[in-house]
Structure 1
Amino acid sequence: MKKLLTILLAIGFFAAHAQKYPVVQKTLFRKDTLLITKFGAKADGLTLNTKSINDAITASSKKGGGVVVVPAGLWVTGPLVLKSNVNLHLQKGALLQFTDDFNQYPLVATNWEGLPQMRNQSPLSANNATNIAITGFGIIDGNGDAWRMVKKDKLTETQWKKLMASGGVLSEDKKTWYPSEKSKLGSTMKNPGEIKPEKTKEFYESVKDFLRPNLLVFTNCKKVLLEGVTFQNSPAWCLHPLMCEDLTVRNVYAKNPWYAQNGDGI
């Protein structure tokens, strides 16, 4: 009887002192649906749909939010910015392919590993947004192969020859491939993206291709949902929710090639 009483008292003590965690706030969206095709988007694998998709997101947010639908097909685009109360939904068979044209990604003041940095704008971003989501059954491809440096010892001989034949430049020791001279130049410097007063716009432009973006960066956002979508082939990290609250990540597949430089999933 004494043992039972001791056990009950112990259970009561720990139950009383158990930490109570706040309930995660979930996203909730209006049923209003906007198709990106209504804003001029074309799934021909050639048209750059950046403006069309961003216009759809902005229009939805201004009306109080809803679902912006990416239908099945190949949709080429530049950077997209998610806004409050919008769910970007990829239908089954939808491939959102970010362009390999680096000129479409402006340099922006952001961060890298917690420090202020100048980098190319992320393909997917949101700042101080509330109630946002990316959901569905499609694929989001960051075209990271166009951005990332590759070390020779991470590829087979056949893969290495194919990569060199695609263009780009090699390091002095011929052991690392870079997509451009700007990328190679940046690799020779210590922390070239660090924001400092003495660094000019021209300096950052000279190493722009080295300042690879993460595929998705949500900063200081609240009530965020990532669900069902495949995020792949990122220029750097795949998913980077920074200082976000009430974040739900469910049934998401984040993947990069095994040889990807800085290819962290989340």
Structure 2
Amino acid sequence: MVVVCLCLLTASFTFAADNYKMVKVKAPFPMQPIKVFIYPDKDFLITDYGAKNGGEVNNTKAIAAAIEACHKSGGGRVVVPAGVWLTGPIHFKSNVNLYLEENAILNFTDNPSDYLPAVMTSWEGLECYNYSPLLYAFECENVAITGKGTLQPKMDTWKVWFKRPQPHLEALKELYTKASTDVPVIERQMAVGENHLRPHLIHFNRCKNVLLDGFKIRESPFWTIHLYMCDGGLVRNLDVKAHGHNNDGIDFEMSRNFEVEKTLIYAT
């Protein structure tokens, strides 16, 4: 599937309400205004927490420290400056806007062990514990990725995992069986052996007030943007190229009250 341009629901406008901008959307059905959090005017540069430019040093801990400090202060922007920044998974907390400056590249590793321990996520509609998505938020409120930078994962390992050999197919059978027989999600541990269930690029799970605005995506291990059981948000001004294996573009699964506009997607 190739989507060239996605623009859903038009003629929106905003007004202020407490700490939010309220976006009213002209839609052919009743729709609540979308709440966009007004992030505090505070910046947390990842370099202040030890991040190193150049694409050689793994900056996972430095970025996590910046996110923690931002969250504890009440929110703001975690700023990724121009340059190439190697990292493993990025886990969000409430009231955090990950801001990618122009010419900033977040270059995600493709070492599966970097994405352990497993987290609660899903695989093609079935909840399970799997490798952490590259950018992951769980039960967060007010989370954003903005700016003109780029998300660009390394792909060598994930391309090998594009194939679906017998161990992978057996893992899917196991997951389908457990899900259909109501085995608790915590017992659906899929990040083991040769199961090779690839992680999402962006997976926001049970979150409220999401903003994805302005950045570029260049490739993805699995589904590119997955908004799962989320309530309210804007997806706009994105440039997405993820022409690998079942990358999709944007998947809304059991989510509501979203507007998508001015977004270019080239994904399979």
- Normalised TM-score (structure 2): 0.73
Q: Assess, with a 3 A threshold, how the Cα gap between structure 1 residues 223 and 193 changes in structure 2: closer, same or farther.
A: farther
Q: CA deviation at 1:256?
A: 1.0
| C-alpha RMSD of the superposition | 2.5
Q: Distance in 2 between matches of 1:218 and 1:124?
A: 8
Q: CA deviation at 1:185?
A: 5.0
Match of 1:115 in 2: 126
Asked if 1:262 corresponds to 2:246, the answer is: yes
Asked if 1:221 corresponds to 2:202, the answer is: no
Matching residue within 97, 103, 112 for 2:113: 103
Asked if 1:148 corresponds to 2:159, the answer is: yes
Does the CA-based 8 Å contact 1:44-1:75 persist in structure 2? Answer: yes
Matching residue within 111, 126, 137 for 1:126: 137
| Matched positions, count | 216
SS of 1:45's equivalent?
A: coil
Does the CA-based 8 Å contact 1:144-1:236 persist in structure 2? Answer: no
Q: Distance in 2 between matches of 1:220 and 1:119?
A: 16
SS of 1:231's equivalent?
A: strand
Q: Distance in 1 between matches of 2:101 and 2:85?
A: 12
Match of 2:198 in 1: 212
Q: Distance in 1 between matches of 2:127 and 2:31?
A: 31
Matching residue within 49, 69, 72 for 1:59: 69
Q: Distance in 2 between matches of 1:117 and 1:71?
A: 34
Matching residue within 87, 95, 101 for 1:91: 101
SS of 1:48's equivalent?
A: coil
Q: CA deviation at 1:27?
A: 2.0
Q: Distance in 1 between matches of 2:100 and 2:132?
A: 22
Match of 1:166 in 2: none
Asked if 1:76 corresponds to 2:86, the answer is: yes
Matching residue within 175, 179, 184 for 1:194: 175
- Normalised TM-score (structure 1): 0.74
Q: CA deviation at 1:117?
A: 2.4
SS of 1:116's equivalent?
A: strand
Q: Distance in 1 between matches of 2:130 and 2:189?
A: 14
SS of 1:189's equivalent?
A: helix
Q: Assess, with a 3 A threshold, how the Cα gap between structure 1 residues 26 and 102 changes in structure 2: closer, same or farther.
A: same
Q: CA deviation at 1:204?
A: 4.6
Match of 2:255 in 1: none
Q: CA deviation at 1:261?
A: 1.1
Higher helix share: 1
SS of 1:147's equivalent?
A: helix
Higher strand share: 2
Q: Distance in 2 between matches of 1:224 and 1:60?
A: 17
Does the CA-based 8 Å contact 1:215-1:236 persist in structure 2? Answer: yes
Q: Assess, with a 3 A threshold, how the Cα gap between structure 1 residues 202 and 87 changes in structure 2: closer, same or farther.
A: closer
Asked if 1:238 corresponds to 2:244, the answer is: no
Does the CA-based 8 Å contact 1:118-1:194 persist in structure 2? Answer: no
Structure 2 unaligned regions, length at least 5: 1-27, 251-268
Amino acid at match of 2:131: N
Identity over aligned residues, as a percent?
38
Q: CA deviation at 1:188?
A: 4.2
Match of 1:252 in 2: 238
Q: Distance in 2 between matches of 1:104 and 1:190?
A: 21
Amino acid at match of 1:233: E
Q: CA deviation at 1:96?
A: 0.1
Q: Assess, with a 3 A threshold, how the Cα gap between structure 1 residues 203 and 218 changes in structure 2: closer, same or farther.
A: closer
